[in-house]
Amino acid sequence: MNYRPEWVPMVLIYWVMALPYRIGIGSAWIAGIVLDILEGSILGLNAMALVIIAYVTLSLHLRLRMFSSLQQAGLVLALVGLNLMLSHWLQIITGQTVTSNLFFLMAALTSAVIWPSLFQLLRQIRRSFDVH
């Protein structure tokens, strides 16, 4: 796998948190299947990881709304890290070649750093289109 768009879990986290009754497990599954098709990976690999992220976000969405942006960034760090670890683990189980170091987890750190800006951008987009 040459390219992994790590912004997908962050965008999913935002929309599940902002619209939990519209965006949820089904949306995460569809996004994961589309991502699997685009990456050319085993069907269901990303879908499984994104469903777990969506479930955790759904179960915490009321608390997430009350968190400061720093606390949200910490949770995004954990959730994107979980997504990366699940994807890596599932790649190992399915026999795909993966790197043996943990450098791929740096994407979780950059996701946490980018989160406050992405949150504000997505919130502004949602409000400009009057999505409730």
Q: Where are the domains of the chain?
A: 7-120
Q: Which residue has the tokens 């929309």?
A: 15
Whether 84 contacts 64, CB under 8 Å: no
Measuring CA to CA, which residue among 14, 39, 40 is closest to residue 27?
14
Whether 118 contacts 76, CB under 8 Å: no
User: pLDDT value at position 3?
Assistant: 59
User: pLDDT value at position 1?
Assistant: 45
Q: What's the pTM?
A: 0.91
Residue spans of the chain under pLDDT 50: 1-2
User: pLDDT value at position 5?
Assistant: 76
User: pLDDT value at position 113?
Assistant: 96
User: pLDDT value at position 96?
Assistant: 82
